[in-house]
């Protein structure tokens, strides 16, 4: 280890956010040459020991998740007995957080198992200030999942104020200054997802995932490919609320109503998933986005490209109720393999080349 790793320059810790207890993670450290202080004064960061469970453990070997996995490891133990259900927030500082391994966050409690928090929030400093980049092929990014215990209770999870994407070796078209030099990093092309939220079994049924001021980028939309599953990959009976967020690139969104993630058979699909997009921008470019759920609301948003109401052959025929209000649409809605019970279009702006393919309606069609 170089001499500089033995030199500690004191700094004031990041301020704690109000509400849930907060664990801070920095993208800067001694090991990556961006600071003269371990993890730039944060609890965790690039200097953190791989699989550490407390803030005072430093590598090598170093974390493969810029300290995010280790922050969860620590919070899971530290707040296990708290009166807030073990909930806590991982607060990311400014900079680029590279994921060379998955971040696995298990949530949900039952009367017989209090080992996991009920929810973990992840909060950055802003979409142009905090970036989480999936940096290797075959990764799932940040994976939030429940146990298979059907009695599991899960609190609402919030992802807020950050950019999440795949390191393709070039800056995204949205122009985040954080990722202009992403070419210096290995490519993340071929990732399975960027953010994955899965309810295993019926545990946590009806919980809420809030995405607030989040940009999710799936890759080069001009080439018509994206993560295998979807950059935002949600599977289960979840209420999704996206506010002021952007989803761009092929398969940037893949939301699937299912009671058993990973089953791969139609018997486990159900219509419990709901999704609301307010003030959002959805653009798959030359690719597709997928939303398979019972209730879909799109309000005050811009939709560009192809939006499909089925994910694969197993989701064909699931009943969907969809409302689009006060939005601009430019692209194609493919409802061919969906059973649409109710569709309402109100105060929308249809641009050139807008097409809607609708084959099966079981009840009402409102325009």
Mean pLDDT of 52-67: 96
Is the pLDDT at 245 greater than 60, yes or no? yes
Q: Which of 247, 175, 174 is nearest to 211 (CA)?
A: 247
Is the pLDDT at 20 greater than 80, yes or no? no
Is the pLDDT at 244 greater than 80, yes or no? yes
Give residue 292's pLDDT.
75
DSSP 236-297: SS-EEEEES-EEESTTSEEEE-BSSTT--SGGGB-S--EEEEES-EEE-TTSEEEEESSEEE
Is the pLDDT higher at 261 or at 346? Answer: 346
Q: How confident is residue 8, by pLDDT bands cut at 50, 70 and 90?
A: very low
Give residue 13's pLDDT.
41
SS3 (DSSP) at 49 = strand
Kindly list the domain boundaries of the chain, sorted by start residue: 1-17+27-86, 94-366
Give residue 118's pLDDT.
85
Integer CA distances (angstroms), 38 to 41, 57, 78, 90, in order: 6, 10, 21, 18
Helices (H), ranges, the chain: 68-78
The first and second tokens of residue 343, run together, are: 């569709």
pLDDT digits (tens, 9 = 90+) for 329-346: 777 776 666 666 667 777
Least confident of 7-21, 181-195, 203-217: 7-21
CA gyration radius for the chain? 21
Is the pLDDT at 284 greater than 70, yes or no? yes
Give residue 184's pLDDT.
42
Cis amide leading into 311 (omega within 30): no
Give residue 189's pLDDT.
62
Residue with structure tokens 């939301």?
A: 255
CA angle 15, 70, 84 (to 5 degrees): 60
Distance CA 19, CA 84 (A): 10
Distance CA 341, CA 246 (A): 27
Is the pLDDT at 18 greater than 90, yes or no? no
Mean pLDDT of 296-321: 74
Is the pLDDT at 153 greater than 80, yes or no? no
In the chain, what percentage of residues exceed pLDDT 90?
30
* Mean pLDDT computed over every residue of the chain: 75
* Max mean pLDDT range (109-113, 264-268, 337-341): 109-113
Is the pLDDT at 209 greater than 60, yes or no? yes
Mean pLDDT of 15-35: 82
Distance CA 294, CA 130 (A): 33
Is the pLDDT at 256 greater than 50, yes or no? yes
Is the pLDDT higher at 96 or at 339? Answer: 96
pLDDT digits (tens, 9 = 90+) for 213-240: 999 887 654 454 567 777 888 877 788 8
Mean pLDDT of 350-367: 46
In the chain, what percentage of residues exceed pLDDT 70?
66
Q: Are 220 and 168 in contact (CB under 8 A)?
A: yes
Question: Can you give 125-163 as a three-state secondary structure string?
Answer: CCCCCEEEEECCCCCCCEEEEECCCCCCECCCEEEEEEE
């Amino acid at each position: 280890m170089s001499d500089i790793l033995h030199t500690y320059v004191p700094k004031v810790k990041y301020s704690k956010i109000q509400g849930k207890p907060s664990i801070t993670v920095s993208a800067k450290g001694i090991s990556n040459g961006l600071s003269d202080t371990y993890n730039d004064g944060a609890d965790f960061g690039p200097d953190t020991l791989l699989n550490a469970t407390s803030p005072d453990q430093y590598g090598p070997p170093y974390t493969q998740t810029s300290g995010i996995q280790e922050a969860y490891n620590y919070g899971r133990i530290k707040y296990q007995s708290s009166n807030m259900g073990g909930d806590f927030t991982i607060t990311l500082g400014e900079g680029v957080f590279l994921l060379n391994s998955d971040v696995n966050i298990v949530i949900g409690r039952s009367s017989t198992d209090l080992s996991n928090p009920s929810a973990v929030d992840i909060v950055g400093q802003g979409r142009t200030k905090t970036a989480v980049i999936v940096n290797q092929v075959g990764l799932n990014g940040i994976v939030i999942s429940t146990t298979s215990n059907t009695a599991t209770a899960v609190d609402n999870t919030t992802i807020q104020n950050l950019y999440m994407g795949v390191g393709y070796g070039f800056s995204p078209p949205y122009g985040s200054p954080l990722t202009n030099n992403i070419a210096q990093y290995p490519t993340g092309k071929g990732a399975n997802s960027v953010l994955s939220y899965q309810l295993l079994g019926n545990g946590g049924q009806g919980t809420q995932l809030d995405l607030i001021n989040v940009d999710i980028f799936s890759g080069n939309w001009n080439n018509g490919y994206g993560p295998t599953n979807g950059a935002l990959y949600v599977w289960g009976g979840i209420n999704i609320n996206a506010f002021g967020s952007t989803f761009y690139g092929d398969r940037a969104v893949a939301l699937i109503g299912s009671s058993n993630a990973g089953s791969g058979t139609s018997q486990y699909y159900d219509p419990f998933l709901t999704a609301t997009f307010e003030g959002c921008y959805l653009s798959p470019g030359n690719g597709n986005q997928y939303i398979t759920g019972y209730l879909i609301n799109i309000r005050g948003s811009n939709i560009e490209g192809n939006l499909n109401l089925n994910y694969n052959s197993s989701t064909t025929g699931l009943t969907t109720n969809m409302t689009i209000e006060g939005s601009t649409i430019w692209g194609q809605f493919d409802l061919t393999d969906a059973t649409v019970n109710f569709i309402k279009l109100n105060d929308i702006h249809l641009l050139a080349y807008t097409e809607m393919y609708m084959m099966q309606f079981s009840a009402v069609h409102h325009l």
